[in-house]
């Protein structure tokens, strides 16, 4: 006898499925994605035939202002894409046996619910197959009677499985013994000032995220490009798929350094960065706030050395590093070589500051040009230069204290050749 479910009962099961996904490992810790999933589910259950607009989601879920323009702000599209990936990840693992599948079809924000039906199973003593309808799948218990001829095959299958498990167990044990022996003989690779300096990012189980600059540009390479200006470019197409060569080489230097610690570093471009990343991860920002705009979204990142455009004079519009509390012998501001001359000198900030989440840290590696950024990254990836920095910032309980440092980077033919400390401030 088929079991009929009322509309209200179906809605309740759909709501329970949403709650289950939100509590899953796939979405754990991602507040913005959970909020988006709950909103889309609510709209799908209350107004199943009403299409959802990007503007509606941006203003009601992410608190964007009434003048929100989807052409210049891709937040909703990016978050919806991340949610699709997380749903696929959930149903590939934890939710593989769930009877309700939640999807967001591409090209739409309208969330759908699909009910899986059970597969045909042998259910009578004669060995005949009968399909169990989806309507009977919920609330109907069917007793299976396995014919005698199937029992022999089942026993043989179990014996073969046991033999395979014994073989795999033997291989696993041999590898474990070999791995244990190798580990005892291995000499630790991470030692010295470099390991001490990066300990806030290597002491835990999670690897830090590297967020590299991904500035928004308008124009095209063929006709000329410039930084996006929200005041005059609100209706212009934005290109956010460019970054500097210094940032690329900076990430290479970081990857080499963390490789000596036996760690890998995930990399993410700045335009995909969210505040959830700050709460849940240690972060390393590569690039100045003029291009790595994500830095501007996090409060109290830099207090002593601040990036600022020159307001007047011959260097008007150039990016400088403002020294908020200059000491004797220090300048009020530092700039790279003028744009109409060969680039031979740049300045960069290296900063270790507390993150928003408990026990989290943020490292900032930012030059006024892409080569200054490269020089800053290479500075913190070498034993000798890091040792000099640690002399200025003693560690506490085996971990580096928060600080901000200003570094001068000498450049020859587009390559940082030497870096030196100019000033250090403890936080």
**Backbone dihedral angles phi then psi of residue 279, each to the nearest 5 degrees:** -70, -35
Measured between alpha carbons, how far is 239 from 372 in angstroms, rounded to an integer? 23
pLDDT above 90 covers a percentage of the chain that reads 26
Residue-level pLDDT at 174: 56
- Supply the pTM of this predicted model: 0.56
Instruction: Give 138's pLDDT tier (boundaries 50, 70, 90).
Output: very low
* Summary mean pLDDT of the chain: 79
Measured at the alpha carbon of residue 96, what is the angle toward residues 95 and 102, in degrees to the nearest 5? Answer: 55
- Greater model confidence, 330 or 125: 330
What tens digit of pLDDT does each residue of 289-323 get? 776 666 665 556 778 999 988 999 999 989 899 99
Residue-level pLDDT at 6: 61
Residue-level pLDDT at 146: 40
The answer to whether residue 95 scores a pLDDT higher than 60 is yes
- What are the structure tokens assigned to 96, written together? 């593989």
The answer to whether residue 77 scores a pLDDT higher than 90 is no
Residue-level pLDDT at 121: 45
DSSP, collapsed to helix, strand or coil, labels residue 137 as: helix
Instruction: Give 3's pLDDT tier (boundaries 50, 70, 90).
Output: very low
Measured between alpha carbons, how far is 308 from 310 in angstroms, rounded to an integer? 6
Measured between alpha carbons, how far is 343 from 374 in angstroms, rounded to an integer? 14
- Greater model confidence, 218 or 98: 98
Instruction: Give 395's pLDDT tier (boundaries 50, 70, 90).
Output: low
Residue-level pLDDT at 126: 46
The answer to whether residue 184 scores a pLDDT higher than 70 is no
Instruction: Give 328's pLDDT tier (boundaries 50, 70, 90).
Output: very high
Burial class (CB in 10 A: 0-12, 13-18, 19+), 107: exposed
Q: DSSP character for 132? A: -
| Mean pLDDT, residues 162-178 | 60
Percent of the chain as helix, strand, coil, to the nearest 5: 35, 20, 40
pLDDT above 70 covers a percentage of the chain that reads 74
Instruction: Give 338's pLDDT tier (boundaries 50, 70, 90).
Output: very high
Residue-level pLDDT at 334: 96
The answer to whether residue 337 scores a pLDDT higher than 80 is yes
- Greater model confidence, 168 or 371: 371
| Mean pLDDT, residues 24-41 | 85
Number of other residues whose CB lies within 10 A of the CB of residue 341 = 8
- What are the structure tokens assigned to 77, written together? 């599209």
Residue-level pLDDT at 169: 62
Domain boundaries, the chain: 7-115, 152-186, 193-426
The answer to whether residue 7 scores a pLDDT higher than 70 is no
- Greater model confidence, 266 or 164: 266
Residue-level pLDDT at 371: 93
Measured between alpha carbons, how far is 379 from 422 in angstroms, rounded to an integer? 13
């Amino acid at each position: 006898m088929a079991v009929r479910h009322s509309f209200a009962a179906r809605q309740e099961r759909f709501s329970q499925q949403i709650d289950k996904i939100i509590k899953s490992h796939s979405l754990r810790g991602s507040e913005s994605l959970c909020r988006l999933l709950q909103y889309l589910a609510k709209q799908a259950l209350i107004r199943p035939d009403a299409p959802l607009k990007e503007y509606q989601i941006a203003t009601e879920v992410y608190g964007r202002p009434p003048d929100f323009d989807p052409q210049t702000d891709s937040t909703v599209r990016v978050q919806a894409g991340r949610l699709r990936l997380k749903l696929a990840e959930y149903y590939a693992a934890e939710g593989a046996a769930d009877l309700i599948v939640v999807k967001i079809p591409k090209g739409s924000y309208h969330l759908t619910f699909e009910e899986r039906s059970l597969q045909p199973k042998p259910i009578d003593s004669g060995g005949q197959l009968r399909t169990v309808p989806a309507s009977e799948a919920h609330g109907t218990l069917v007793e299976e009677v396995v014919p005698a001829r199937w029992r022999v095959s089942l026993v043989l299958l179990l014996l073969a499985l046991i033999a395979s498990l014994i073989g795999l167990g033997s291989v696993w044990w041999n590898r474990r013994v070999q791995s244990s022996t190798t580990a005892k003989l291995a000499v630790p690779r991470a030692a010295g000032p470099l390991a001490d300096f990066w300990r806030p990012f290597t002491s835990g189980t999670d690897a830090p995220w590297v967020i590299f600059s991904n500035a928004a540009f308008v124009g095209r390479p063929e006709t000329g490009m410039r930084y996006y200006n929200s005041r005059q470019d609100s209706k212009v197409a934005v290109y956010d798929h460019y970054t500097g060569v210094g940032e690329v080489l900076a990430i290479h230097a970081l990857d080499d350094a963390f490789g000596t610690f036996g760690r890998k570093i995930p990399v993410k471009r700045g335009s995909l960065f969210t505040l959830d990343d700050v709460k849940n991860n240690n972060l390393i920002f590569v690039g100045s706030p003029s291009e790595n705009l994500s830095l501007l979204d996090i409060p109290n990142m830099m207090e002593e050395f601040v990036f600022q455009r020159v307001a007047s004079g011959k260097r008007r519009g150039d990016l400088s590093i403002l020294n908020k509390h200059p000491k004797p012998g220090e300048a009020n501001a530092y700039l790279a070589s003028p744009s109409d001359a060969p680039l031979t000198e740049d300045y960069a900030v290296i900063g270790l500051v507390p993150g928003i989440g408990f026990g989290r840290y943020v490292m900032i590696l930012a030059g006024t040009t892409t080569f200054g950024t490269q020089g800053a990254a290479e500075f913190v990836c070498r034993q000798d230069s890091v040792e000099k920095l640690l002399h200025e910032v003693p560690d506490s309980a085996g971990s580096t204290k928060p600080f901000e440092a200003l570094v001068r980077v000498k450049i020859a033919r587009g390559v940082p050749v030497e870096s030196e400390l100019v000033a250090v401030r403890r936080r």
